[in-house]
Structure 1
């Protein structure tokens, strides 16, 4: 019978692999509707067949991908109506997280968010979409890590990843990137002022941008 320590390590390894595959989907290395071949994933991520299968099962539960009986797994593909419904729920949950973030975040973490906002500004001017997406995600991950509710945090990221199944993007232009840049800076200022209402309003605006169909783009909020 495997020890609890070995079981825990295996679960951690599979969760990390699921996160890596989700990240690849987020960066459009795998497109909405694309089939995922397990053997290719084993080679790309240097993982065992069992771990890949377990990671895919976890992502299917999150609805980042879907399992089609007798065929395999493919990246979830959602229509625009579902995308809009996901965005509506994101606004409810992410604005609800604002009060907890303001109550718990420390000055050092606010300073780190300010640094990430500056990095995002630089990436808007000279970085790739991959760099922009990664810095943006790091900013929001750090901020929501202080919401005080692990289930809320997990649900927020589950919805954000599920939205990758849409071909809709909110960064459909350079102007959209500039708006996101300014909103990051305003969020940092709201946190410095400990203004939960202002932060919630900024988050709602940040999420609710009303994207356009643009399959080449990779970043969603």
Structure 2
């Protein structure tokens, strides 16, 4: 195996493991401020010491976690000021993605998006917070995959993951969950009409209303 191939394989393993750890953080398996023990991560994810360290370094660059010299790595803690700034930046970036999405998405992809929206509607009624969060993420992953700009897409998800460092939690009430559900369909209708401006407006409102949150453990509904 060539040295280039080895580097590519190492990069792939690092990215996959980093995404798995980030997902665990999103699902609150690790809480804001919690220290991440490398040996525990090796066992949990069946990974080598080198791959775990590489993945942690990548997550530190993304600001999902932070590296404290001579101490190790811990899940980033985001204060309210930074949280609001992340929300404002998300609105700028995700609304900017609307034009590319509207120009590139096709009828088959809109149909798939509608299917995922229907799955979310179902778990709104009977699903767990984990199911709701993961299907909501799948909806937006499919949506932003059509933005046509890999760097923009990477920045969007980096900010979304960094946002998990706050002590706030998604959907402060069942009404907020229902509103989020309705906004998914509003995005789909904008896409069917090919209306990028309307899509951008719905996305911005989706982020704003999603930002009406309560401290972790205090959700209603």
Give your verdict on TM over 0.5.
yes
1-structure distance, mates of 2:110, 2:26: 26
Give 1:182's aligned residue: 182
Give 1:214's aligned residue: 215
Normalising by structure 1, what TM-score?
0.96
Extract structure 1 runs of 4+ deviating beyond 3 A: none
Give 1:135's aligned residue: 135
| 1:89-111 Cα deviation digits (max 9, x unpaired) | 00000000000000011111110
Unaligned runs of 5+ in 2: none
* 1:28 equivalent in alignment to 2:47: no
Q: CA deviation at 1:217?
A: 7.2
Q: CA deviation at 1:79?
A: 0.5
Equivalent residues in 2 for 1:195-214, closer than 5 Å: 195-209=195-209, 210-214=211-215
2-structure distance, mates of 1:175, 1:47: 41
Give 1:153's aligned residue: 153
1-structure distance, mates of 2:215, 2:72: 27
Give 2:5's aligned residue: 5
2-structure distance, mates of 1:217, 1:153: 31
Q: Secondary structure at the match of 1:70?
A: coil
* 1:92 equivalent in alignment to 2:71: no
Normalising by structure 2, what TM-score?
0.96
- The more displaced of 64-73 and 202-211 is 202-211
Give 1:126's aligned residue: 126
Give 2:70's aligned residue: 70
Q: CA deviation at 1:156?
A: 0.4
2-structure distance, mates of 1:71, 1:178: 42
* 1:101 equivalent in alignment to 2:135: no
CA-based RMSD of the aligned residues comes to: 1.3
| 1:54-107 Cα deviation digits (max 9, x unpaired) | 000000000000000000000000101100000000000000000000001111
1-structure distance, mates of 2:204, 2:170: 13
Would you say the 8 A contact 1:168–1:211 is kept in 2? no
1-structure distance, mates of 2:111, 2:218: 30
Q: Secondary structure at the match of 2:77?
A: coil
2-structure distance, mates of 1:180, 1:51: 37
